Structure 1
Amino acid sequence: METPPSDFPAEPVRLEGQGLVLREWGESDLPDLAELYDDPEISRWTPVASPFDEAAARAYLASAREARCACRRMQWAVTTDGGEPLGEVLLFRAGPDDRDIEIAYGIGSRFRRRGLAGRALGLATRYASGRLRARRVLLRIEAGNLASTAVARSAGFRLTGDALLVREVKGRRVALQTWCHRPSR
């Protein structure tokens, strides 16, 4: 019999390792959050608002806090020292099996090509596999998103044979491939 997954903890979570600190977002991060997400590549591959200004950042942070309080989603600022946000990584329960956890990530344009996404993904994956006892840790990536598929591969994720997941994003249908990192038990 499989052990049921742990609920997302109610208390704030801070993850450290691989030269990174993943910490929860704060009110003082709003200008940085607006800068990170007001980016054509982020807009292209994610469901966040575009343009992404400080009002959008405030709404995004409010949604993140509400989801966090309800233990539905965890969102962290990706930093090197707990200070300036360089990107974000988030995780949430995925689909009909609540033992599956999906991770999403984005790195600001000024901070790309430094291995931040892969390292942040690694930290979040270990947390989901260990603390949350995920059955599967998943990524959902559009086939054309070559940067994200490269990050997935570098972090040990593999494309599954799962059917394409079709979502409506910003008025267009998006077909997402499922990538999986199975925890070792």
Structure 2
Amino acid sequence: MLFGVQRGDSAVFVSSQPREAYTPSTTWPESYAVAEVEFFKYIARQAPPDSLHLKCLQFFSRLVLGFSFSTYAMKTIVMHILNVTPVSTWRRRHLRKRLVFIRDSLHVCVRAKSLNHFIVGNQRFPQDINLPPDVKTIKAYNLFHHLEQQPTAYTQAIHDYEVLHEWFNRIVLDED
């Protein structure tokens, strides 16, 4: 259990312990976990009954275990995609297409050495979820900033993506 204080009437809390890696020097970092849960509830209200967006997230959260990609990075990619694609395209018949799109989005982010935080600086965040105004307007934090700063981390991420791509093809596309 963590101690947290709600920031105004928003879905942002100040927490007693850092939950995300992007606030290591802050004594009382902000946590966006509640806002993320609210976002998934927002999507669920719009999603068709056979929506597989959470299954896609679960698949990639398990697939990246043991690689240099965090489950949080995969969740961030999925949230970005959910925020810009109609939820009707997450149905069972679109499963392969969605999984390939998530995989390809990871590739683009690794190559660009950039994955923007989903909430901080996101002008497209749903208005139905209350955030402090400064959270939407400040510059987005790059979750992959370490890939810019550490060449060995970037090389490892490229290698991990190539292996992950092969595994993905074997599992999802039945290719060897």
Q: TM-score range by the shorter chain?
A: 0.3 to 0.5
More helix by share: 2
Q: Larger C-alpha radius of gyration, 1 or 2? A: 2
Q: Give the TM-score taking structure 2 as reference length.
A: 0.32
More strand by share: 1
